[in-house]
Amino acid sequence: MTESQFSPVPIEAVHALPLIDQERELRIQAEGLLLRAEMLAWERTGDFGAHGAATKHCARQSELIKGRSETACAWLAAQKGLPA
């Protein structure tokens, strides 16, 4: 996993989206933070339970990303300077 895969969009910028898309983007960011926390716990302790929890957060984050609306996808592309 690279930093660019999970670099969050600034919270202030998310306010341009409809409320349902704002909620999803915040949940995506939250899952990413929980994923990182579990991976740090795993590195620190070697506890495979933390690794399993990280895997679940990664899967949840991926599902949330797949469910983005067309509006959110176009908005994210514009934020990154990509064609919609």
Would residue 52 count as lying in a domain?
A: yes
- Closest by CA to 64, choosing from 4, 18, 9, 23, is 23
**Which domain does 60 fall in, by range?**
18-79
Q: Which residue has the tokens 């960011």?
A: 29
Q: What tens digit of pLDDT does each residue of 22-71 get? A: 999 999 999 999 999 999 999 999 999 999 999 999 999 999 999 999 99
Of 2-6, 60-64, 65-69, 72-76, the poorest mean pLDDT is in 2-6
Q: Is residue 49 part of a domain?
A: yes
Give me the number of domains the chain comprises: 1
Is 38:50 a contact under the CB 8 Å cutoff? yes
DSSP 24-68: HHHHHHHHHHHHHHHHHHHHHH--HHHHHHHHHHHHHHHHHHHT-
Rounded to two decimals, the pTM is: 0.79
In a domain, 4, yes or no: no
Q: Looking at the domain assignment, is residue 12 inside a domain?
A: no
